[in-house]
Amino acid sequence: MAAASRPVVVLFDIDETLVHTGGSGARSWNAAFEKLYGSPADIGKHSSAGETDPRVGRATFQGVLGRDPSIEELTRIYAAYLLHLSDDIWKSEQYRVLPGAEKTLVELGEEGVVLGLISGALEGAARTKLVPANLNRFFLFGAYGSDSADRAKITKAAIARAESLCDHLNPADVFVVGDTPHDIEAAKAAGAVSVGVASGHYSTEELAAAAPDHVLGSLEERFPGMN
């Protein structure tokens, strides 16, 4: 693992990094397909943790309906998904903020670190998932699956947006925090510092196999580069 320099910008993934939605997203994708096509859709059969919503939507459509979707069909699915999610997220009995998440955000903000979101979710879904926990208030900007289906490109877009807030920002001053190997790989591709957090489906050993700069068991641990 690399020695920890102090971060200037920290970009946080959402699902299983900051919050656990209790299956709200999966239920909402299923509801969208049921409403529009009368067919159940289990996104877990067609995607893996950390993939972007555009890839999840397209792969699930292909798996359920056996053909490629048109842009209009995907847009209708996105609309139905977001509408269902906005209600379901409040009813999700297992929704919770993950250990150490809010404390870490408060401490980083107090230290003058710029906080942003980086999520494979569509922007509307990403922000919706944070509403019950009131975590949107910590983030100045973000980049999302609605910016690109490619997570590395999303990461680069987030860094470009951070540059408007930070003079002479070097990608090595940007820490990307996520719970999957996809997050780690995207951070590397963008030249950022990768921080894997074993708060989701992957253990510290599994995350370490992706060779991140830092691995945490949870956000309850001391954040890299901070005193």
Split at pLDDT 50, 70, 90, the class of 55 is confident
The whole-angstrom separation of Cα 25 and Cα 18 is 15
The whole-angstrom separation of Cα 174 and Cα 195 is 10
Over residues 183-211, mean pLDDT: 96
Instruction: Tell the residue number behind the tokens 């409040």, with chain if given.
Output: 90
Over residues 130-157, mean pLDDT: 95
Total residues found in the chain within this entry:
227
Split at pLDDT 50, 70, 90, the class of 4 is low
The pTM assigned to this predicted structure is 0.91
Instruction: Tell the residue number behind the tokens 């003058």, with chain if given.
Output: 112
What residues contact residue 60 under an 8 Å CB cut-off, 6+ apart? 29, 33, 41, 43, 46, 47
Structure confidence at residue 46 (pLDDT)? 67
Over residues 6-32, mean pLDDT: 95
Coil, strand or helix at 195: strand
- Give yes or no for a contact between 212 and 204, defined as CB atoms under 8 angstroms apart: no
CATH 3.40.50.1000 domain position(s) in the chain: 9-21+96-216
Position 3 pLDDT exceeds 70: no
The whole-angstrom separation of Cα 77 and Cα 33 is 7
pLDDT tens-digit profile of 67-83? 999 999 999 999 999 99
CATH number of 9-21+96-216: 3.40.50.1000
Coil, strand or helix at 6: coil
Pairing of β 96-97 and β 114-118:
unpaired
Over residues 82-94, mean pLDDT: 97
Phi-psi region of 191 (alpha: psi -120 to 50; beta: other; left: phi over 0): left
Structure confidence at residue 133 (pLDDT)? 97
Over residues 56-67, mean pLDDT: 90
Higher pLDDT, 105 or 26: 105
Position 8 pLDDT exceeds 50: yes
Structure confidence at residue 180 (pLDDT)? 93
The whole-angstrom separation of Cα 181 and Cα 176 is 12
Over residues 48-54, mean pLDDT: 73
- To the question of domain 24-91 being in CATH 1.10.1200, the answer is no
With a pLDDT cut of 90, the percent of the chain lying above it is 78
Which of 116, 14, 32, 217 shows the shortest CA–CA distance to 43?
A: 32
- Distance between first and last Cα of the chain: 18
Which of 226, 222, 198, 220 shows the shortest CA–CA distance to 210?
A: 198
Which of 221, 135, 217, 224 shows the shortest CA–CA distance to 174?
A: 224
CATH 1.10.150 domain position(s) in the chain: 24-91
- How many Cβ atoms from other residues are within 10 Å of residue 112's Cβ? 8
- Give yes or no for a contact between 200 and 219, defined as CB atoms under 8 angstroms apart: no
Over residues 19-24, mean pLDDT: 95
pLDDT tens-digit profile of 132-142? 999 999 999 99
With a pLDDT cut of 70, the percent of the chain lying above it is 96
Structure confidence at residue 2 (pLDDT)? 47
- Lowest-pLDDT range of 9-13, 51-55, 71-75, 196-200: 51-55
Over residues 199-210, mean pLDDT: 95
- Give yes or no for a contact between 77 and 90, defined as CB atoms under 8 angstroms apart: no
